[in-house]
Structures are given as C-alpha cells and as structure tokens.
Homo-oligomer: A and B are copies of this chain.
C-alpha cells in the first residue's frame, strides 16, 4: 500500500522544480505565479498522454513531436498558465521559443535530451512570449540554486483552481523506497475521455519509457479520465510522466501506487471544480462490463440537472435514472437501485427502478455534506466503475460568464 505525502514533483529523487511570476496575463498581480519548470538532473525515460480534442494547442503538437524525436526521453517540462497558446497568432513559433529558451537557460543539449512544453489559459489570444523570455533565465537560476519548490511550480500552473494540487506517494519494492510525485491544474474545461488537463508526474523508479507509457495510459483511464467538471474537453490537456531511473521496482507495485496517486489527484480536481461546493462520487456496480459502468457513471456526473440538484441538497433520484437512460448502455431500468451516501449516513431512494418513500429531511441532512456518493446497482453482472464530478453552482456561471476579462 502506498503512503501519501504532502510533497509533489520534487518528492522523487533527482527532480527539481520552481515557479515564478512572468506576467503572462496582462495586469495579473505580482504574487500570481504563472511559469513553472520541472526538471531532472539527467535525461529521463518519459511517457505522455494528450487531449483527444481535434483542435489541439501548439504546445501539445510540439510536445508530441519532441517525444517522438527524442525516443521518449525528456529532462524538463516548461509550463505556463494565463494563456493556452492555442489557435492564436504565432502559436507554434512561440511554443518552440519557450522550449529553446528553457534549453539555453538550463544548459540542456537538445541532442542528448529534450524539453517539452505545456500551456493553459485563454484560447485564441497571442502568447506574450517576451515576458516568458525574460522570466525563464531567473526561474532556471532559482531551480539550479536548489531553491526547489514543488509548491511554487504547482501554483504557477493554476488558473481558476482554488486549491494547489501537489502530492506524492511512496511504496516499497525490491528493497527500495520508490517515490512518485505529481502536480496538476484543472478546474474548468474538464471532461473525461481526454489525455487530461495539465499534469506532471515524476518518479525515481527505474522503468523504460514503454512501461511508463503503459502504466500512465492505464492509470489515467481509471482516474483522471473519470473526472468531469463541465463536459468540455480542453484543447491543451497534457500529462507527462518522467522516470529518473534510480530505483528498481516491481512493475505491478509501481502501477498500483501511480493509480492511487492519480485517484487522489482526480478527487482533488473534481472537488475544486469551478464554483463547486460538493465533490460527487458516482459508483455503478452490477454491470456486465466495466465500460458500461463507466459510461453510466459519467452520464450521471455530467448531468446538469443532477449537478444542480446536489447543489440544492435535493435527493432528486429521478434525474439520475433519467441520465442513465439516455446513454447507449443496455440495462434494465426495472432492476436499478439508487442510494445516496455521505459521512452523515446513507439513504436508499430507489429500488428496482421505482421510487421509495423516504424521509426528505434525513436525505437533506445527508446531502449537506461536502462529499456526496451516488451508489447505483444495476443487478446485471459483476463489473463496476467509479467517476468523480462536482455540483453546478452560481459561481460556475459567474466564473465562466466573464473568464477572459
């Protein structure tokens, strides 16, 4: 079992990180960090998954290119918030420039190793590359001077996030203590079936790129790809995994710890969804296959009506049944059981597809907690899946009614 640490990407051996205020977004306050570097002491085995959106930001296209060219070796990721550098004038040129300046500042030889890039923020507006160009040398110096800070790096990629997402896990394998660290940003434009949001994962495990890639793909599929805030899949989603190769490990143990780490991140992202007041966990069991269970759970956490009901602490299970019904999954509505649960207790509201008489005030009491679980049993088979989302609130509308200004 992996042990959780309140560290981040600098938890594993061989990594440094830092964040700085560059002023990417005009007029942003001096204390808003917006440029981050995560770098290893030596070239790493690397894996990555990216957004499935047909419209892809320049940094996504460029990072793909760099990974292919370098034979899946990376030493550094440079990331900015405040601008997505997507569908914007000179987007590819500016992404290349971010990489080049970072190479120069860190003294990385582009023939031996590689730098990847990620951006998040407003789409369609030109990136202010001048402020980034000015800030990178200072940031590189901070990182080199061992003024390492996983937290500053994590802060620098936040946009509408209200909570820093930076953590690490440790586990023991083959006599070694192996660490996996991660940072992520994600609050809006979050939807399953993507590479997903911005996330950098570091580890000192010694695994080749191909194994890291498989582990990352599998872990993301059951964690970050099961989060939805608003059903909008981003153009900039990127997850990187860098392995510094210090410690031999059993592969299974690594995969398990990685999945545990990304599950924690997934829950943090859902709980910090734009404007969210409740984390919603929807688990579907009794399905004939896992994909069906996942599709149904996602449909529930994506339903605006379910999300608004949870905001209002309203045990409106009819909307849950409705959301199950408009997927393309074959199930029998007359077998479905639904239950709400939280730390305050649990209440069954629907059995065999029909509403039960239940105590509304007790239901409200349960649904007032911060974390709400919706438990669905299809009574068809043995498979299950869990997805995470959040409620739909006034603040979601407020945040997104005027995000650009």
Interface residues in chain A, defined as those with a beta carbon under 8 Å from any beta carbon in chain B: 52-56, 84, 86-89, 91, 122-126, 188-189, 191, 230-235, 302-305, 308-309, 311-312, 314, 316-319, 321-327, 329-331, 333, 349-350, 353-355, 360, 392-394, 396-405
Cα distance, A349 to B91, chains bound together (Å)? 17
Of A86, A308, A325, A326, which is in contact with the most chain B CB atoms at under 10 Å from its CB?
A326
Do residues A397 and B397 form an inter-chain contact, with CB atoms below 8 A?
A: yes
Q: In the complex the two chains form, is A124's CB within 8 Å of B304's CB?
A: no
A46–chain B nearest beta-carbon distance, Å: 25
Given A397-B308, A400-B305, A403-B314: A87 touches B232 (CB 8 Å cut-off): no
Question: Do B124 and A355 have beta carbons less than 8 Å apart?
Answer: yes
Complex Cα distance, B316 from A401, in Å, reads 10
Please give the distance in Å from A288's CB to the nearest CB on chain B.
Answer: 15
Instruction: Give Cα A54 to B360, complex, Å.
Output: 27
Please determine whether A403 and B309 come into contact, CB atoms closer than 8 angstroms: yes
Known: A189-B305, A304-B304, A396-B308. A232 touches B401 (CB 8 A): no
13 A-B pairs with C-beta separation under 8 A: A53-B326, A55-B321, A55-B325, A55-B333, A56-B325, A87-B353, A123-B316, A232-B322, A233-B326, A235-B322, A304-B304, A314-B402, A360-B405
Distance in angstroms from A151 CB to nearest chain B CB is: 29
Find A400's partner among B309, B398, B402 (CB 8 Å cutoff): B309
Which residues of B lie under 8 Å from residue A232 when comparing CB positions?
303-305, 319, 322-323, 326
Task: Provide the residues of chain B in CB contact with A89, threshold 8 Å.
Answer: 354-355
Residue of B55, B84, B322 touching A324 (CB-CB under 8 A)? B55
Q: Is the CB of B86 within 8 A of A318?
A: yes
For A56, A231, A232, A314, the residue with the greatest tally of chain B CB atoms inside 10 Å of its CB is A232
Cβ–Cβ < 8 Å partners of A325 in chain B: 53-56, 233, 235
A-B pairs, top 4 by smallest CB distance, nearest first, are A123-B318, A312-B401, A55-B325, A308-B400
Contact of A123 among B52, B230, B321 (CB under 8 A): B321
Whole-angstrom CA separation of A319 from B188 in the bound complex: 11
Bound Cα distance A324, B87 (Å): 13
Residues of chain B with a CB closer than 8 A to A317's CB: 124
Apart from A55-B324, A235-B322, 12 more pairs, CB < 8 Å: A52-B326, A53-B326, A54-B329, A56-B333, A87-B355, A123-B316, A123-B318, A124-B349, A233-B325, A305-B400, A308-B396, A394-B397
Give the Cβ gap from A330 to chain B, nearest Cβ, in Å: 8
| Distance from A308 Cβ to chain B, minimum over Cβ atoms (Å) | 3
A302 to B330, CA, bound (A): 24
Taken together as a complex, chains A and B put the C-alpha atoms of A45 and B167 apart, in Å, by: 67
- CA–CA, A84 to B355, complex, Å? 12
**B322 close to A233 (CB less than 8 A):** yes
Nearest residue (CB) in B for A398 is: B394
Question: Min CB distance, A210 to chain B, in Å?
Answer: 28
Return A139 CB to nearest CB of chain B, in Å: 27
Chain B residues lying within 8 Å of A319, measured Cβ to Cβ, are 123, 189, 232
With a cutoff of 8 Å between Cβ atoms, the chain B residues found around residue A360 in the complex are 405
**Shortest CB distance A240–B (Å):** 21
Contact A318 B84 (CB under 8 A): yes
In the bound complex, do residue A303 and residue B404 qualify as a contact, i.e. CB atoms below 8 Å apart? no
Find the B residue at minimum CB distance from A310: B401
